[in-house]
A = this chain, B = another copy of it.
Amino acid sequence: MNAEKNNTILLDHGAGGKASHALFSEMILPLFSNEYLAMGDDGAVYSVPAGKMAFSTDSYVVDPIFFNGGNIGDLAVNGTVNDIAMCGAIPLYISVGLIIEEGLPINDFQEIITSMATAADRAGVKIVTGDTKVVPRGKADKIFINTSGVGMIPEGVNVSGSRALPGDKIILSGTMADHGIAILTAREGLTFDGDLKTDSAPLNHMVKTMLSSGCEVHVLRDPTRGGVGTTLNEIASQSGVGMTLFEKDLPIKKPVNGVCELLGFDPLYIANEGKLLAIVPEKQASKVLDLIKADTFGKNAAIIGEVTDQRPGKVFLETAIGGQRLVDMLTGEQLPRIC
């Protein structure tokens, strides 16, 4: 084999033969090491108690694959961990499906799967089963990652986008638009003053604390693609309620806001990857807010609005200067391949 061959992913690595096995047993297995994956069967086998489970999937096609604060690997693990947590579940087991473009440098691959292992450790989940495909040059873009996952929902927990009630308060766990703006600046090679990096983070520990506190939580949702604006529209529609947001209370970092103003983006529609929206009864809102603020990833949390019985399915923003404007669902594509 020549040097070029040794240092990049080849079609053989996805063929199911010797090279595939070497890639798995020499690079992947040592990093993701656990007894389920080590079995080497077509799927992972685990025991569960009787109860409710959550199951979620997401594919990641972010461009670029490396950006300030993370890469496609930890993004993929955190994203599915969060989707499971948003069902009120404790994430347990994650699957990984890799689609790699022939020619991806082995070093890049190593960095990505190392980040996945670190992210899984941090979230307390195990990567238990996986699959690797390699497609010829020009038939994919470096690497795409699917993660799916399962988790157990503690007894008594009942969280859904359909459970928002008039009078509930809407909490956002931190600043808006960090991830989307980090990707945009990485992609376009823009440089700005200030700390523009992804907020990609696991939110399952925050959710667990909230749900085990005895506080009632009606809705949990992470505002990823489409941002806070689109996500709240989805919930308003699922629950058949209206919502009012208060512009002055929306947390956003100064440099992120600056980039949005400069480029004409509305931060309400920019993706987040380490934030959640919690919709809770008014009487418990301040307690839930305190719990979120006590979490590593919730320091800038704020109550950003409330659920109403007016104009069901619609979200309105009370602007800082006293007006009101409709926050519709995102139309069109602001920033393709953000996740």
A138/B140 contact (C-beta < 8 A), A45-B54, A225-B16, A336-B11 known: no
Chain B residues lying within 8 Å of A97, measured Cβ to Cβ, are 57-59, 97, 146, 148
Does chain B have a CB within 8 A of A334?
Answer: yes
In the bound assembly, the distance between CA atoms of A144 and B108 in angstroms comes to: 22
Q: Is A15 touching B225 in the complex (CB atoms < 8 A)? A: yes
Give the interface residue-count category, chain A.
Answer: 35 or more
A132 CB, min distance to chain B CBs, angstroms: 8
Q: Is A226 touching B55 in the complex (CB atoms < 8 A)? A: no
In the bound assembly, the distance between CA atoms of A337 and B83 in angstroms comes to: 30
A interface residues, Cβ below 8 angstroms from B:
11-12, 14-21, 39-61, 63, 82-84, 86-87, 89, 93, 95-99, 128-131, 133-136, 138-141, 144, 146, 148, 150, 153, 160-162, 221-222, 224-226, 230, 234, 238, 269, 271, 329-334, 336-337
Partner of A150, one of B52, B55, B234: B55
Chain B residues lying within 8 Å of A86, measured Cβ to Cβ, are 41-43
Instruction: Name the CB-closest residue of B to A39.
Output: B160
In the bound assembly, the distance between CA atoms of A217 and B233 in angstroms comes to: 52
Q: Is B135 touching A330 in the complex (CB atoms < 8 A)? A: no
Q: Is B52 touching A50 in the complex (CB atoms < 8 A)? A: no
A90 CB, min distance to chain B CBs, angstroms: 13
Partner of A47, one of B51, B130, B330: B51
| 4 closest Cβ pairs, A-B complex | A16-B225, A17-B330, A43-B56, A16-B226
Chain B residues lying within 8 Å of A19, measured Cβ to Cβ, are 331-332
Q: Is A57 touching B148 in the complex (CB atoms < 8 A)? A: yes
Q: Is B140 touching A21 in the complex (CB atoms < 8 A)? A: no
Q: Is A42 touching B98 in the complex (CB atoms < 8 A)? A: no
Chain B residues lying within 8 Å of A39, measured Cβ to Cβ, are 160-162
Beyond A18-B331, A44-B56, A59-B131, 4 extra complex contacts between A and B, CB < 8 Å: A16-B271, A40-B234, A45-B52, A57-B97
Chain B residues lying within 8 Å of A162, measured Cβ to Cβ, are 39-40
Instruction: Name the CB-closest residue of B to A220.
Output: B42
Chain B residues lying within 8 Å of A55, measured Cβ to Cβ, are 43-46, 93, 95, 128-129, 150
